[in-house]
Amino acid sequence: MANEVTVIYSSRTGNTEKVAKQLAEALGATCHSVKDTSAVPEGADLCVGTWIDRGTADAGAKKYIESLRGRRVFLYGTLGAEPDSEHAEKCIANIRALFDPSNEILGAILVQGAIDPMLIEMFKSMPKDNVHAFTEENAARYAAAASHPDENDFAQVIAAAKEALA
């Protein structure tokens, strides 16, 4: 990695923050919440992390992403769905579209994260024809997501970032 690297994250339940801290440690980088990016060096390459909210970056990450100009950026994030799903692909495309064209997106990866228990409760009140409605199938997916992000998820993000930043 030729340039200094800074890891930025937005996290609601701690999933993305956990990934950010593991990534920063592996890269020897500083780590900052999107709420405090005043110390981010101007020329540093960025690893920008978000949790997925309605198919794109959450509001805090979105605001930060839209402010960036002329940066080299690696994207990472967490979502409740399977990371190799069509939904995850659409999420990455939606996030990429938030960036000003002056930025260079070096790569992107999403890994699974535990779903906020408050969201699961909200899903229980949704009509059964809603994609997020609480069903036995969705309950199994929520349970599977509960153990994430895990060591394998951290390793995947670290490997993807190292490759992208090389």
Is residue 158's pLDDT more than 90? yes
Residue 48: what are its φ and ψ, rounded to 5°? -110, 120
Per-domain residue ranges of the chain: 5-113+148-165, 115-147
In this predicted structure, the answer to whether residue 2 has a pLDDT above a threshold of 80 is no
Residue 103 amino acid letter: N
User: 61 and 7 in contact (C-beta within 8 Å)?
Assistant: no
Contact 33, 18 (CB under 8 A): no
pLDDT band at 131 (very low <50, low <70, confident <90, very high): confident
Instruction: Give me the pLDDT at residue 100, please.
Output: 98
Residues 95 and 56: beta-carbon distance below 8 Å:
yes
CATH number of 5-113+148-165: 3.40.50.360
Q: What is the pLDDT of residues 43-102, one digit of tens each?
A: 899 999 999 999 999 999 999 999 999 999 999 999 988 899 999 999 999 999 999 999
Position 141 scores a pLDDT of 86
Residue 63 DSSP SS3: helix
Residue from 108, 94, 118, 125 nearest 161 by CA: 108
